Copies of this chain bind each other. A is one copy, B any other.
Amino acid sequence: MNIYDIAKKANVSVATVSRVINQSGPVRESTRKKVEKAIAEMHYTPSAIARSLSSRQTNNIGIIVPDIFNPFYARVLTGITRVTRDIGYNTFFFNAEENIERLHQILDALKGQNLNGIILNPVLDQDEKTVRLMKELEAMNVAIVLLDRDLRGMNCNGVFSDDFGGAYAAVEHLIRIGHRRIGIFRGPQQSRPGYERFMGYVQALRDNGIQVEEELIGEYDFMLNGHVYEQTKRILRKKNPPTALFTSNNYGTLECMKSLLDMDLCIGKDIGLIGFDDIDTLHYANRSISAVDRDVERMGAKAMTLLQYCIAEKAEEVEKQKIVIDTHLVLRGSEKCDMIAAYAD
């Protein structure tokens, strides 16, 4: 069944049927009624495919995340779909699984899809092929918004969080309550969140006259693979161990916590700990960790809203926007350490 069947049944032309369906152009009230009746009686649903082909508008967008299993991205997705559902967009979902080649494949396949826009959480912040593919997509008139992670070599719209400010606030707080030796597990330095969070740490130390010490710096790839677990042990075995630790994402926090617990250290007493990104599940286990938090669903929603704006404007002339979402420090006691309690204000 197609638009011709409806036209015949309602005794009008397909142009008229199209007009009532899309509310494009004028239709006499009585004609509209007839057409609507025919549509209802025949349970007609217009073909989105045919519509897309002739109108050159798919109303589809693509969302690419690096790891849907990380609750952070599940939350982002919730925020995004909460907006799309209201504006009638459909969402193609892709999980790159933190694999750069997989991302390339996805982007390549997307070229033929005629999408209105893409929200991308890049796997790597620095990757020529990603940039090349994104530029091809952009040239095909698909709007692009970056989320959380940046993409060097590509000036484009994005929604990020105040990674620097969040880390700075956390470390500054640790200093204010008396910590002087603060360790950090930093993320990849070629990635915006990894770099900015580390810079926030460095700046907070400097502003308080504390030297940055190599041996208090651990590094990992933001994954859940035991790196932070091992490094936590190593860093605490040093002759002059830190009294507090700062981790750069939720996975790092989990591993660090596990490591401390396995060493029989009491978090918030024997050692202070603040993470980046809150971990809900821990509240139910009464093991909450202080954290730099942000409204992740809002980030997703903002990204979608920005994308929609870009699609509407379409003019390449429009200034690219970088939206930065605030973070806030949530303190729950895990930041404390008895060893330095005397200094606390």
A interface list, Cβ under 8 A from B:
43, 45-53, 58, 63, 68-69, 71, 74-75, 77-78, 81-82, 85, 88, 90-95, 97, 102, 105-106, 109, 111-114, 136, 254-255, 257-258, 261-262, 279, 281-287
Contacts and interface: CB of A to CB of B under 8 A. Distances in A.
Contacts of A58: 49
A281 B281 contact: yes
B93 A92 contact: yes
A210 to B, nearest CB: 29
Number of copies of this protein chain within its complex = 2
A322 to B, nearest CB: 26
20 contacts: A45-B111, A47-B53, A49-B113, A49-B114, A63-B93, A69-B74, A69-B75, A69-B78, A74-B74, A81-B93, A85-B102, A88-B109, A90-B92, A91-B92, A93-B93, A257-B284, A258-B283, A258-B284, A285-B287, A287-B287
A313 to B, nearest CB: 23
A99 to B, nearest CB: 10
A303 B152 CA distance: 38
Nearest to A1: B140
Given A45-B111, A49-B52, A285-B285, A94 B71 contact: no
Given A43-B136, A254-B285, 17 more contacts: A49-B114, A53-B53, A68-B74, A68-B77, A68-B78, A69-B74, A77-B95, A81-B93, A81-B95, A85-B105, A85-B106, A254-B281, A257-B285, A261-B285, A281-B281, A281-B285, A285-B287
Given A71-B71, A75-B69, A91-B92, A112 B48 contact: yes
